[in-house]
Amino acid sequence: MRRPRRTALRALIGCGLLAVPSATAGAPAYAVSGGTAARRGGAPTAAQVGAAAGRVSARQAQLGASRKRLSAASAQLTALQTQAEVLTERYDQTLVDEQRAQTAYQVTQTRLAAADQTASASQRAVAGLAAEEYEGGGGAGSTTAMLGDADGPQAYLNGAGLSQVLAQYGTEALAESQASQVVAGVFRTQAHDLLLAQQADLRAAHDLKLAIESEVARQRDLVRAAKAAANQVATELAAARAHQEALQAARQAALAAAATEQATSATQQATAAGSPATQIQAPSWALTSRASATQGDAAANWALSQLGKPYLWGGAGPASFDCSGLSMEAWAHAGVPLLHYTGYQWVEGPHVPVDQLQRGDLVFYATDTADPATIHHVGIYIGNGMMVDAPHTGAFVRVDNINWPGLMPVGVRPAS
């Protein structure tokens, strides 16, 4: 075992039943004093240990629900952040388009100003022609008719005869005047519509950007709150679990102390009667009382299913074990009740030589293999010289070779 020699009392109790963890915040304090476990007001009852286990289960359920809510909130935040990135890119595109629109508007305004100047020059040229015609003696007749025609100069030109009017009034000036006015009107409308459309798009994109940023911030707050709630429940679960373990350990310590007192009393009586004080004899079991090979397989297989669970003084599952707690639960699953103590398990079935062990048989270790009173460890044999055991504090349920120092020459096949 590679363990230091224990005192007789510690070896009798076996696998750490007297160890009690220090009380955590919010959990009652327990102590072992004078061989008895004492809680303020008495040792914990089975009902109290069960209630503590119920609180642990409730906190575990709460933690699962909290983590589920946190996961959902985080997923929604991720989706919103992705959506925000897409909309931000669209917003950037709209900004670029608006800047282009502003540039186009400015260019159009320049063109509009040039068109207005051209139209004004054309109108002045036509007016000059009219003035020259009037001053040259033509009077206001034909020119006035041309300018005053309800359908414009072109209608007059069409009605008066093209060749005569072109020679007399300068058709190029009139045509240029009309074209300049039309171009100016087109530029004016185009610049106005373009600017209004881009400004509307920019306002819509800006509003959408603000909305999605607000939603992302709100969801981020929800995730932060969900995370804080999950952390709080996790803290409460740790406290509840520590409380349960303290209650369970204190109860096991009290039971072990009572067993110790009984063993001490029996030893004193045996000594008084003249029998050796340290001898623990197995009863004369009938061969028919041995557990079957099927039961042994069931115990061994169940023990193997517990690999990796942590060692805990006084632990009897389902989350943690000490050595005798593991063997007790393994054989309970095979239909054979055992007591949670190596000293009692040593006499709870017929002894079997080590070279005749079957799967499920119990193997024992002592500081003095000639003295069963010094037994301190037990494992469940699984065949081929191997066993499953819960070795010591800080370790986990594992598979070990049975050839450790202190191996008792016989094992136990629990009685059915």
- Cβ–Cβ under 8 Å, residues 21 and 242: yes
DSSP 2-50: --PPPPHHHHHH-TTTT--PPPPTTS--EEEETTEEEETTSSPPHHHHH
Check whether 145 has a pLDDT greater than 70: no
* pLDDT at residue number 247: 82
Q: What digits encode the pLDDT tens for the residues 186-205?
A: 767 766 777 777 777 778 87
Binned at pLDDT 50, 70 and 90, residue 52 comes out as confident
- Cβ–Cβ under 8 Å, residues 350 and 285: yes
**Rounded mean pLDDT of 52-64?**
89
Distance CA 302, CA 299 (A): 5
- Cβ–Cβ under 8 Å, residues 282 and 347: yes
Q: What digits encode the pLDDT tens for the residues 217-228?
A: 898 899 999 999
**Rounded mean pLDDT of 350-366?**
95
Q: What digits encode the pLDDT tens for the residues 233-248?
A: 899 988 888 888 888 7
Give 401's strand partners: 386
Q: Say which amino acid occupies 232.
A: Q
User: How close are the terminal C-alpha atoms of the chain, in Å?
Assistant: 29
* pLDDT at residue number 126: 64
Picking from 357, 360, 358, the residue whose alpha carbon sits closest to that of residue 409 is 357
Highest mean pLDDT among 7-16, 42-51, 286-295, 406-415: 406-415
Going along the chain from its start, the domains and CATH numbers come out as 69-230 (no CATH), 289-416 (3.90.1720.10)
DSSP 300-337: HHHHHTTTTPBB-TT-BSSS-B-HHHHHHHHHHTTT--
Residue matched to tokens 């060692």? 311
**202 Cβ contact partners less than 8 Å away, ≥ 6 residues apart:** 94, 95, 98
- Cβ–Cβ under 8 Å, residues 133 and 168: yes
Check whether 382 has a pLDDT greater than 90: yes
Q: What digits encode the pLDDT tens for the residues 250-262?
A: 877 777 677 667 6
Q: Which H or E run contains 375?
A: strand 375-383
